[in-house]
Amino acid sequence: MRELDALDKKIFGLLAGNGRMSNLDVAAKVGVSEKTVRQRIRRLIERDGMRVVATLDRQTPPSRLIVLVRVRSGQRFVVADRLASLPEVDEVHLTTGAYELIVRASFESDSDALEFYVRHVEQGPGIEESLSTHVVETITSGTAARPDHFEQFDKQASKVGSLSELLDLACEVATASLGADRVHVATGNVWPADPASRWPATMRWRGLSSRYVEEIRIKGQAEGVVLPNIVKHNQHVFVADAQTDPLFQSVTDLVFSEGFRSWMGMPVCNGDTRRGTFCLYWNTVITYREDLVRQAQELADTLGKHLVRYSPGSSDASSTPG
């Protein structure tokens, strides 16, 4: 390919930014006649292979999922083809190592992502094991350094004298800094996978009725509705409208009586160890925002760091609203 001269580069740059720009507009911007632009464009197309294509300026999908998949012997390509054919899947990568496939998928909501994972991965044929994670934010070399939103919480948390005080502090920071109308935080394995586990000894909440907390506890243990999946997969889940979302279908009566709309829940971890759960509630419907999820995750991570100081059998164990 020949080296483009300065005029060709200007014309190409303008069309790359707006393929529908007219020859007259291009001519006005580069300072030559429309005839010259027309000739140059024809030459760029015929001789240099330039193409003017249509693209859609799409925003980042509200929910993005990455799944590591280990397949049964001889099923690698069968499973890869099946997953790649699903409309939600963006890419399927064949990999080496502990997992044979990496799947990247996009969804309109975390509810859709969770349903996809259960239906097509957990229950999918040929899959032996999988790990999934939500993409909270994409960081590039051009991403500006961000301030630590919860530096003050970190300092205060290191000085509290009990687990109850720590959870109370987390509730206060969540409502003040994240704009949540209500919050619930609990330690321990909230909905156990084995009968030997139990409901966490310590919980704190703001803006929720004791009846709601107790009913959700009972229904969650019996039916395994929303939070059990979060705990199981160590994922956050955002629900724009809990009053209509199918994830809350079995507790719709409680949602309406409590009166909240949007909800977000996530596990509180320290390293590979799950320490508890963290849930935020809003009285109105809000939209999914990466910055909100990132900040909520920052708070949950900071809380998880400090929960290490308290063993599950802490003498401070109690279940009390704020």
Q: Which uninterrupted H or E stretch holds 195? A: none
The token pair at 229 is: 């999946």
* Tens-digit pLDDT profile for residues 147-162: 566 888 999 999 998 8
Query: Is the model's pLDDT at 113 over the cut of 80?
Result: yes
Q: Of 20-34, 117-131, 133-147, where does mean pLDDT reach its minimum?
A: 133-147
Query: Is the model's pLDDT at 14 over the cut of 90?
Result: no
- pTM across the whole model: 0.60
CB-based contacts of 190: which residues, under 8 Å, 6+ apart?
A: 199, 200, 220, 227, 228, 231, 276, 277
pLDDT given for residue 103 in this prediction:
93
Q: Where are the domains of the chain?
A: 6-46, 63-134, 151-307
pLDDT given for residue 314 in this prediction:
44
Contact 52, 15 (CB under 8 A): yes
Question: 317 pLDDT band (50/70/90 cuts)?
Answer: very low
Q: What is the CATH number assigned to the segment(s) 151-307?
A: 3.30.450.40
What does 58-88 look like in DSSP terms, one character per residue? PPPPSEEEEEEEEE-TT-HHHHHHHHHTSTT
Q: What is the CATH number assigned to the segment(s) 63-134?
A: 3.30.70.920
Q: Any idea which fold 6-46 has?
A: Arc Repressor Mutant, subunit A (1.10.10)
Query: Is the model's pLDDT at 144 over the cut of 90?
Result: no
Is the fold of 63-134 the same as that of 151-307?
no
* Tens-digit pLDDT profile for residues 167-213: 999 999 999 888 899 999 988 754 444 444 444 458 899 999 998 88
Q: What mean pLDDT value characterizes the chain? A: 80
What percent of the chain clears pLDDT 90, i.e. is strictly above it? 24
* Tens-digit pLDDT profile for residues 72-96: 888 888 999 999 999 999 999 998 8
pLDDT given for residue 319 in this prediction:
47
